[in-house]
């Protein structure tokens, strides 16, 4: 059978900016027959995520991420429908997902590597299983629960950077649902900031490309910052950390401003910011959602419930 697939064509280098030319769309073939335990799936959705920048390097900088190989098919979170099955628990027409879904139109996969999906849990919006009810939503929910120390009634202020992104937009909403009294987002356009406040229920949003971020934070967070959901790192994070309270918490989710630089993860803080962190006893521990997979099932059900109830808005 002839298929289309996306392969890694070249590496951008540790300090390079990824280009379209780093990938190649090509025709390939797969077997016409499915072996015992396998299924043939048609790809419906793929998730393209910031962490994949690290997989474009030979050294991903992480022991849990494998590099993509040159001229080999790229992979990541994906969803498809079973077209033919020789696996006892999967039937034609089932919707399935995997963290290692190949970027190709049709694939033959080991049935044991796939998770069956129930579309009704997300009101039929299958793609949500790669976002709000998938690894993205889990990262937001478990990050807040495991590293945020949010307590209902404690009058806490949360700041979210990369707030209009897949994870950040959920994190701000979940911050409210878990008990934060004030949530402020940081994003890169007026339109994004408007969506955060008007649609997603953020109390305020800052366009970091306009005006003084530190000054706006002081105005919008008069009581300081208790929880910081950090997706970006760099100068924006330095500005937020400067205004964090004693015994506050950083949820270290991502550092996307640093991914095209050859720096360790998590990137070290500037000396003056590190001094603030230590003096105010601010926690800043690496957070990896894969370490909490024992809580995956219950957490996905919670996310699905919020989606069904309209408490979690998804774009």
| Mean pLDDT value of segment 165-174 | 97
Reported as a single tens digit per residue, the pLDDT across 204-220 is 999 999 989 999 999 99
pLDDT above 90: residue 109: yes
The whole-number pLDDT of residue 260 equals 75
Per-residue pLDDT, averaged over 303-307, amounts to: 97
Range in 145-149, 235-239, 252-256 with the lowest mean pLDDT: 252-256
> What is the average pLDDT score of the chain?
95
3-state secondary structure of 191: helix
Q: For residues 151 and 175, give the distance between their C-alpha atoms in angstroms, rounded to a whole number.
A: 10
CA–CA separation, 121 and 95 (whole Å): 13
Q: What is the mean pLDDT of residues 268-283?
A: 97
Q: What are the angstrom distances between the C-alpha of 44 and each of 109, 211, 239? A: 15, 42, 41
Residue 64 has pLDDT above 80, yes or no: yes
pLDDT at 124 over 90: yes
**C-alpha span between 201 and 216 (Å, rounded):** 19
DSSP symbol at 32: S
Report residue 92's pLDDT band, with 50, 70 and 90 as the boundaries. Answer: very high
Task: Name which of 34, 31, 25 is nearest 7 in CA terms.
Answer: 25
Please give the pLDDT value at position 263: 76
The pLDDT assigned to 62 comes to: 81
Q: What pLDDT band is residue 4 in, cutting at 50, 70 and 90?
A: very high
Task: Output the pLDDT for position 128.
Answer: 97
* Cα separation, 85 vs 94, whole angstroms: 10
Mean local confidence (pLDDT), 168-197? 98
pLDDT value at residue 10: 98
Q: How many CB atoms lie within 10 A of CB 125?
A: 14
Cα 73 to Cα 193: distance, rounded to the nearest angstrom: 36
Residue 303, pLDDT score:
98
Q: Domain residue spans in the chain? A: 2-117, 135-308
Q: What is the DSSP string of 251-276?
A: EE---GGGTTS---SSPPPPHHHHHH
What DSSP designation does 311 have? Answer: -
Q: How far apart are CA 139 and CA 265, in angstroms?
A: 17
Under the banding of pLDDT at 50, 70 and 90, the label for residue 203 is: very high
Q: Round to whole Å and give the CA distance between 124 and 8.
A: 32
With cut-offs at 50, 70 and 90, classify the pLDDT of residue 288.
confident
What are 20-63's pLDDT values in tens digits? 999 999 999 999 999 999 999 999 999 999 889 999 999 988 88
pLDDT at position 265 over 80: no
CATH class of the structural domain 2-117: alpha beta
Question: What 3 state SS string does 111-177 have?
Answer: HHHCEECCHHHHCCCHHHHHCCCCHHHHHHHHHHHHHHCCCCCCCCEEEEECCCCHHHHHHHHHHHH
What's the pLDDT band for 254 if we cut at 50, 70, 90? confident
Q: Which CATH number fits domain 135-308: 3.40.50.720, 3.90.260.10, 3.20.20.60, 3.40.50.9100?
A: 3.40.50.720
Task: Answer yes or no: is pLDDT of 130 > 90.
Answer: yes
């Amino acid at each position: 059978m002839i298929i289309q697939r996306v392969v890694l064509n070249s590496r951008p280098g540790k300090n390079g900016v990824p280009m379209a030319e780093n990938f190649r769309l090509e025709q390939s073939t797969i077997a016409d027959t499915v072996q015992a335990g396998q299924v043939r799936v048609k790809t419906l959705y793929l998730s393209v995520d910031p962490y994949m920048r690290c997989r474009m390097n030979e050294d991903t900088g992480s022991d849990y991420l494998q590099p993509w190989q040159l001229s080999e098919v790229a992979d990541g979170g994906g969803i498809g429908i079973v077209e033919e099955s020789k696996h006892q628990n999967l039937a034609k027409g089932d919707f399935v997902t995997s963290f290692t879904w190949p970027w190709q139109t049709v694939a033959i996969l080991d049935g044991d590597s796939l998770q069956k999906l129930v579309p009704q849990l997300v009101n039929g919006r299958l793609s949500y299983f790669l976002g709000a009810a998938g690894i993205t939503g889990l990262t937001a929910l478990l990050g807040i629960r495991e590293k945020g120390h949010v307590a209902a009634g404690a009058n806490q202020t949360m700041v979210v950077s990369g707030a209009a992104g897949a994870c950040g937009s959920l994190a701000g909403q979940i911050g409210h649902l878990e008990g934060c009294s004030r949530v402020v987002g940081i994003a890169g356009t007026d339109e994004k900031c408007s969506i955060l406040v008007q649609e997603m229920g953020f109390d305020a949003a800052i366009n970091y490309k306009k005006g003084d971020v530190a000054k706006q934070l002081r105005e919008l967070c008069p009581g300081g910052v208790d929880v910081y959901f950090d997706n970006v790192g760099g100068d924006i994070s330095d500005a937020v950390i400067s205004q964090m309270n004693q015994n506050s918490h950083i949820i270290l989710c991502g550092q996307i401003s640093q991914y095209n630089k050859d720096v360790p993860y998590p990137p070290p803080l500037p000396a003056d910011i590190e001094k603030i962190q230590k003096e105010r006893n601010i926690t800043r521990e690496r957070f990896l959602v894969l370490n909490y997979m024992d809580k995956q099932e219950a957490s996905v059900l919670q996310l699905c419930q919020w989606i069904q109830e309209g408490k979690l808005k998804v774009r």
